[in-house]
Amino acid sequence: MDRSRRVSGILLHLTSLPSLGGIGDMGPAAFAFVDFLHSAKQRLWQVLPLSPVGYGNSPYAALSAFAGNPLLISLEKLADGGWLPHERLQGLPPAQGPVNFAAASEKFALLVEAAQNFLDAPKGDEWQRFEYFCEEHRSWLNDWVMYAVLRRRFGYACWCDWPREFATRQPEALESLLRESRRELAIEQVIQFFFAVQWGELLAYCHARDVKVMGDVAIFVNYDSADVWTHPDQFSLDADLRPVEVAGVPPDYFSETGQKWGNPLYNWEAMRQDGFSWWVARVRRSMQLYDLIRLDHFRGFEAYWAVPAADETAINGQWVKAPGEALFATLRHELGMLPFVAEDLGLITPEVEALRMKFEMPGMKILQFGFGDRGAHSYLPHLYEENAVVYTGTHDNNTTLGWWVENTSEAERRNVQTYFGTFTHEAQVVWAMIRAAEASVARVCILPLQDVLHLGSSARMNTPALPDGNWSWRYEPDALHPDFASQLAALMEMTDRDGWVDPALEALGPPEEQGTED
């Protein structure tokens, strides 16, 4: 085995950073976190989708598959750049405690103020960069800014409830919008430009500190999104532009009634006929933002769970085949190397596994899943393959400490202690799980920051099927103690995970055959 190909990273969404303004962003805390990753010899930072969020604040229920979330823009960096007076930041929610989604309107008002200052400033080099950005991204940017302005104009109602001339994108209505709301549209363009500049700076800092970024592409998009409003022909809608069936998953580990996500399903035949152009554009955009890409709900590319839109639960759904092989072949032809990780959790069939292996994507192994009956042992390290990404848990799991204390059965607890030995206190299970994941043969290991910090269930990020109370966890400003970094760095050396290989871990494909081991 080429040990330089073994790496480790940390899962942390940007909103979980202790930033000024009540929500994590791309400001000083993000750069400090990259320094922590570097000192801990972590070579990957995995984030959740960076898209603007709608109802429920879930990054997996985004208003756009292409735009950036304005709330991730750092007001401090805008002030440092001269687009806001520093005194305007006084009185903002502090950089501690849970995410304050209620304060979002206050932050957005300051983003608008900064964008207005940008538009009114003398036109220099920064203006040329802005014009280049608008031209480069016009294929999605123009529709996004119209959607954002109209959504605000009509009281944040779903686009399907707007006046019909706007809901159906009548040319005369859109032309009137362009005439009457030119300034408001330009402000939205500038906000997206701010996002792009700050993300580019943060990504460059990551690369300078030997850290790559793994992004997350949610398989589906929100019905109330710029994507469905702009491309209704690409989705399975009825004559009134309403979904007949929606996405979800059948009953599983997380929910006895399944999960009715509510996302509209794709019109795969229409997508196939136009060469999957929407998907090509979406993945191209993701490859601009990230070094590696986790494909959420990978099994949905082989077959998806279609739920009647009128049903309250997902029990009565059915599996419908998807053209995953044709899609990935097209993406590979159009974009070349595909740095994908397949989120292959849930009910995985031989067909799903064959699709993943055909395109040489590593799958995911969740250590918390491995201690049930014997069928769960595929999640234990002694059965891993090299081309895999192992996690102690994900954003959908409880923290490892919370799982051990609150979610394990007596049988699971016995199995854990049979595997690792007896613990004298509860927190020891966390480091035992971390060591097992890092020492496994899997080429990539990802640890949620909550596990690195040994936090309990109060730090859980998301509980699937729970409609409220998710996505709000943030770590405290003083949480990244140097001892955590030293402990991780030592473990990386012992498990040969302190190297890196470019480009993008050679697309995360299977390792090359090695004649001898160094």
Give the relative orientation of helices 350-358 and 324-335 as an angle to the nearest 10 degrees. Answer: 10
DSSP at 404: I
Active-site residue, 373 included = no
The residues pairing with 46 across neighbouring beta strands, listed in sequence order, are: 11, 214
Cα 39 from Cα 490, distance rounded (Å): 10
Helix (H, G, I), strand (E, B) or coil at 180: helix
Helices (H), ranges, 43-155? 75-80, 104-120, 125-136, 138-153
Give buried/exposed letters for 38-52 (b at 16+ CB in 10 A, else e): bbbbbbbbbbbbbbb
Distance CA 106, CA 21 (A): 9
Among candidate residues 146, 73, 83, the one with its CA nearest the CA of residue 119: 83
CA–CA separation, 496 and 439 (whole Å): 9
CB atoms within 10 A of CB 341: 24
DSSP three-state, residue 516: coil
Q: Identify whether the C-beta of residue 370 lies closer than 8 Å to the C-beta of residue 377.
A: yes
Q: Are 75 and 107 in contact (CB under 8 A)?
A: yes
In sequence order, the 6+-apart residues with CB closer than 8 A to the CB of 411 are: 372
Q: Is 227 a catalytic residue?
A: no
Distance CA 249, CA 336 (A): 31
Q: What residues have CB less than 8 Å from 299, skipping those under 6 apart?
A: 344, 346, 347, 348, 349, 352
* CB-based contact 166:45 (threshold 8 Å): no
Tokens representing 340 are 């994908």
Q: Which residue has the tokens 């994590």?
A: 24
Q: Of residues 113, 126, 296, 353, which has the active-site annotation?
A: 296
Task: Indicate the helix (H) or strand (E) that contains 467.
Answer: none
| Active-site residue (options: 113, 252, 396, 506) | 396
480, 26, 472, 448 alpha-carbon torsion, rounded to 10°: -50
Active site annotation includes 406? no
Q: Using CA atoms, how far apart are residues 231 and 360, in angstroms rounded to an integer?
A: 31
Query: Which residues have CB under 8 Å from 490's CB, separation 6+?
Result: none
User: Which residues are known catalytic residues?
Assistant: 296, 343, 396
